[in-house]
Chain A
Amino acid sequence: MMVNVLFYVFGAILVLTALGVITARNPVHCALFLVAAFLNSAVIWLLLQAEFLALTLVVVYVGAVMVLWLFVVMMLDVDVEKLRQGFTRYAPLGALIALVVAVQIGLVVHVRKLGLGDTAAAVVDRPADHSNTQELGHLLYTQYLYPFEIAAVILLVAIVAAITLTMRDRPGQKVQDIGKQVAVRAKDRVRLVKMDAEARQ
């Protein structure tokens, strides 16, 4: 009962914040709404007793991904109005497509229920000291070890790719070379010129 109430409360907030993400005019506000949406979905996962996943969601998405996202958004100064200029022109077409897709999804999911009769298992209640983390860890490092390792390799590739594409010497790059700075002598930089005194004109 309590869980159901909480689910609907947080679900409603989740939907509202998700709407906020796409309707807010300021990109930083969009990002903020997204953070709120992540937090709410984390709560919903908590209600499903998946605390490890919920917390990982917060750690990864709120603590890392969104921070980097904010970084970009703050530095770019996106002019949202400009981006939206063509919006009204394409809005009818977009609405039409959205409608068609929604109807299709509705037909498939609701009317025929995707044939999901009873394959969805019910949530099993666990005792309070049940360690979600341990269970997941056990599965990841035995049954899913192979995919897990490949996922790790994918992250490695992402790092290698990112560094390859960004780390390079290009002309005009401003870098500080401490060694050169320290090695500078006054006579390399300053030329003292002797001048005769001049009368004010």
Chain B
Amino acid sequence: MNPASITRLDLVLATPEMFLLAATCVILLGDLFLRDRDRWITFVLSLLTLAGVGWITAATGFTERTVGWHGTYVADPLSTLLKIVACGAVAVAFLYGHGYLQERRILKGEYYVLGLFALLGVMVLASANSLVTLYLGVELLALSLYALVAFNRDSGVAAEAAIKYFVLGSIASGALLYGMSILYGVTGSLELGVISNAALQMPAGQIGLLFGLAFIVVGVAFKFGAVPFHAWVPDVYHGAPTPVTLFLAAAPKLGSFALAFRLLAEGLGAVHATGWQDMITMVAVLSIIVGNVVAIAQTNIKRMLAYSTISHVGFILLGILAGTSQGYAAALYYTITYVIMSVGGFGMIILLSRKGFEADSLEDFKGLNARSPWFAAVMLMLMFSMAGVPPFVGFWAKLVVIQAVLDIGSLWLAILAVALSVVGAYYYLRVVKLMYFDEPTDKAALQGGGGAMRFVLSLNGLAVLALGLYPGLLLALCARVIP
């Protein structure tokens, strides 16, 4: 047997990815033969695929860190958790978006296919162990997202958003790739473990390493949508069809977290204190400030949520910049809770929309309580959670991140984070005020979303509450998967 060949272990390791790819190709081909009114078959197949991937990931889940495919692939508890959450997020996104797209007659099989490819990108990122795999994962994810944003061909806003996203995204990918190539040149390896060892042995302030690192931080910050690389976020969130925005806000954030964790923590952990901590601190602080302050001025709820995303990303980065396992676990916890909250938030917009009407203005939430008390309550829970009000899950997320920051002795960061959370609470609570204390302009009952979507959306709202009441489980899980 050739020493460099592919072993059975490699195949077992990548079973989820292989299954997903094969199933996606089948869906892609099968969809060609479907008429428009049979498109639900694609939808169901996609959900089945997601269930299958989730199940396989859980079943083959490696409790030990296992490296395969000649050092390009790693399976560890973290990757398993990220993959399963990503599958769930994508499934929920599909579920919320289906009716919306169908009503507007823009439901094409490619929505699901591209979504599944994006998920594959997230999964590749989640278990990447070399610079090449990381970069390819980023590109796979990004390319699928560009196409998804431009998906509604008859919408000028969407096309504009896609072009902005594409051009800026390509530049960011270029920066990331530059950084990676410099890193490769300096350390002589593509494998993260080897890079980490090489970086450890280098003198502090090794200029080549820092040079590459700067580019890498730019790339990572862009993929997160952190200030000052956030310019695309509001436009893309606003311009994309709402189901795509919802998609964009969910699974890709897990991918970004994986990218940041694998690159910065696993690959360049050695230059944490001397290198990227300061860079990330700047980015994180700016994100929290800009995100929270600018969101106040928004009248479009999609844009408002986009700016709120920026501030949430700032919090995630706060956890990462701590550089401790506790900090990474906090960031992971924050990412997962953010995904749950944002999926719900955009789901609400879809629920309120109907054919020919886009409920993306804050005004459209006026008097929701009178129209549907239950969904007003769901939105209330989501908004409170995003604002970080106890006992909802968003509170715990902010708490653990601030704790992690305090543990490394950055009191000022913690104070800043708390202060701006209070600022942020203003615009979340404004939505609540509109729902409960304003007269509805539109008194009709809610029409958007089918039974399944309403059910899942309700669950989504309850999850925010339940996870907040019992935070221990998810917290412990996050702490356990971070080595």
Contact = CB atoms under 8 A, between A and B. Distances in A.
Query: Is A in direct contact with B (CB under 8 Å) within the complex?
Result: yes
A112 B254 CA distance: 37
Contacts of A170: 153-154
Given A143-B4, A153-B117, A164-B108, A115 B143 contact: no
Interface in B116-133: 117, 120, 124, 130, 132-133
B147 A115 contact: no
Interface in B69-116: 69-70, 72-73, 108, 110, 113-114
Given A108-B211, A115-B208, A150-B136, A157 B147 contact: yes
Pick from A108, A120, A157, A161 the residue with the most CB of B within 10 Å.
A157
Contact of A160 (B14, B28, B187, B202): B28
B147 A164 contact: yes
Interface in A146-168: 146-147, 150-151, 153-154, 156-158, 160-161, 164-165, 168
Contacts of A192: none
B134 to A, nearest CB: 10
Contact of B153 (A116, A153, A168): A168
A164 B114 CA distance: 10
A59 interface: no
Nearest to A145: B6
A138 B137 CA distance: 23
B165 interface: no
Contacts of B350: none
Nearest to A143: B70
Contacts of A142: 2, 4-6, 70
Contacts of B58: none
A115 B206 contact: yes
A144 B72 contact: yes
Interface residues of B, number: 46
A151 B134 CA distance: 11
A160 B110 contact: yes
Nearest to A162: B147
Given A161-B143, A164-B151, A146 B14 contact: yes
Contacts of B146: 161
A151 B46 CA distance: 23
The prevalent SS among residues of B at the interface is helix
Contacts of B70: 142-146
Interface string B1-43: 0101110001000100000010001001000000000000000
A154 B173 CA distance: 14
Contacts of B363: none
B73 A157 contact: no
A123 interface: no
Contacts of A114: 182, 185-186, 207-208, 211
Interface string A111-153: 0101110011000000000000000001000111111001101
B385 interface: no
B69 A154 contact: no
A157 B140 contact: yes
A78 to B, nearest CB: 18
Contacts of B130: 147
A158 B143 contact: yes
Contacts of B132: 144, 147
B144 interface: yes
Pick from A146, A161, A168 the residue with the most CB of B within 10 Å.
A146
Interface string A168-180: 1010000000000
B188 interface: yes
A154 B147 contact: no
Contacts of A144: 70, 72, 132
B221 interface: no
A146 B146 CA distance: 24
B53 interface: no
Nearest to B133: A147
22 contacts: A108-B207, A114-B185, A114-B208, A114-B211, A115-B202, A115-B207, A116-B186, A138-B4, A142-B4, A143-B70, A146-B72, A147-B136, A150-B136, A151-B136, A156-B117, A157-B117, A157-B147, A160-B28, A160-B113, A161-B143, A164-B108, A165-B151
Interface of A: 108, 112, 114-116, 119-120, 138, 142-147, 150-151, 153-154, 156-158, 160-161, 164-165, 168, 170
Given A115-B202, A115-B206, A146-B73, 8 more contacts: A112-B207, A114-B185, A146-B10, A153-B140, A154-B139, A157-B117, A160-B113, A165-B151
